[in-house]
Structure 1
Amino acid sequence: MSDYISELRKLVGHKPLILSTAGAIVLDKHDRVLLHHRCDNDLWGLPGGVIELGESVEDAAIREVFEETGIKVDNLKLFNIYSGANQHYIYPNGDEVYYVCITYYTRTFNGQTQIDGIESKDVGFFDVNNLPQLSQPIKCILEELRHRINNNLLQ
């Protein structure tokens, strides 16, 4: 958790916060999506996280992918922006958030996947039609991705 969010939590406790996040859909040559097994809720998710103060959204997405998976991404394209009830989440510690999730996608990446043991306990590429148990806020994102891939709507 960033220092900024920690300071806000000292003031508001577990009350809902609106948080801007950035993440990326990383696709390999077989249209499999990169996911990481999260340490905080033991579910799978897209790499992404809270945008730091003064950080651009794209830089945040690039940073988060690298921190959580060890993969370096480039050539990000806007996939969609998600907000509202589908982006409501309560963390295991009781912290409540409503995300404004700016999601990019790319097929341009390099490096080897690495597990940091802090945010991720596993990393892998998955077929969009056969996904592991997902963290709630990304289900709608991956449903849209599945639709676009299965209907050849994604470059």
Structure 2
Amino acid sequence: MSTPPFILELREHVGHRLLCLIGVTAVVIDTDERILLHRRADDGRWSTPGGIVEPGEQPAAALVREIEEETDLRVLPEALVSAVMEAPHTYPNQDRVQFLDLTFRCRPVSGSARVNDDESLDVRWFDYSDLPAMDERIMRRIDHAREGAVGWFDPHSTGPWTPGVSPLPPAA
């Protein structure tokens, strides 16, 4: 995956230390309720497309840009369905990151889904019942988009927040 220039500049100063970044993910669902996935070039796994919000960029605009760059598909973000601080991750080069991931349910508005850059090996539409094996966090994002529920996580829990239940600890 190509690293944005602003991150390369930061790495010159902080080395491999943990960077907290904002990521955006698209769960693109077409009129036949199929879900758009791309097979990532960096690890060969199927995933929902997305990327990193650059300084001064609005999250939804970053998402539209990333999806078009990766898949040649123009999308319309319809709803924010998940806001989750993911666990820290260490890349093979030892760079450490932690993403606040903002997941949007999107619908395609123009273009045809295809591999459009070097970040994807394949791009395809899948019926929900035929989704390939994917990481649990990717499936969680897809489920939030399909259910229309907004999800975030209680910092004192390992499970998802339940709608109607406060994510805050009880007042003392």
Number of matched pairs: 147
Aligned partner of 2:95 in structure 1 is 95
**TM-score for both structures, normalised by structure 2:** 0.75
Gaps of 5+ in 1: none
Q: Does 1:12 align with 2:14?
A: yes
The equivalent position to 1:80 in structure 2, one of 79, 82, 87, is: 82
Gaps of 5+ in 2: 150-172
Query: Do the aligned partners of residues 8 and 75 (structure 1) sit closer, same or farther apart at CA in structure 2, a change above 3 Å counting?
Result: closer
Q: Which has the higher contact order (CA 8 A, sep 6+)?
A: 1
1:72, CA displacement in angstroms? 0.3
Greater radius of gyration (CA): 2
CA contact (8 A) 1:45 1:138 kept: yes
1:105 partner amino acid: R
1:121 partner amino acid: L
Would you identify which runs of 4 or more consecutive aligned residues in structure 1 move more than 3 Å? 143-146
1:50, CA displacement in angstroms? 0.7
CA contact (8 A) 1:35 1:124 kept: yes
**Aligned equivalents of 1:136, 1:40: Cα separation in 2:** 18
Aligned-pair identity in percent equals 35
1:122, CA displacement in angstroms? 0.5
CA contact (8 A) 1:77 1:105 kept: yes
**Aligned equivalents of 1:99, 1:30: Cα separation in 2:** 31
Mean CA deviation greater in 16-25 or 128-137: 128-137
1:98 partner amino acid: Q
The equivalent position to 2:42 in structure 1, one of 36, 40, 43, is: 40
Post-superposition Cα deviations, 1:53-88, rounded to whole Å, max 9, x if no partner, equal 111111001001101111001253211211143xx3
2:24 partner amino acid: A
The structure with the greater share of residues assigned to helix is 1
CA contact (8 A) 1:41 1:91 kept: no
Alignment of 1:4-153 (within 5 A): 4-85=6-87, 88-135=88-135, 137-145=137-145, 148=147, 153=148
SS in 2 for 1:59: helix
SS in 2 for 1:107: strand
**Aligned equivalents of 1:132, 1:48: Cα separation in 2:** 18
1:91, CA displacement in angstroms? 2.5
CA contact (8 A) 1:89 1:137 kept: no
**Aligned equivalents of 1:14, 1:137: Cα separation in 2:** 24
Query: Do the aligned partners of residues 70 and 135 (structure 1) sit closer, same or farther apart at CA in structure 2, a change above 3 Å counting?
Result: farther
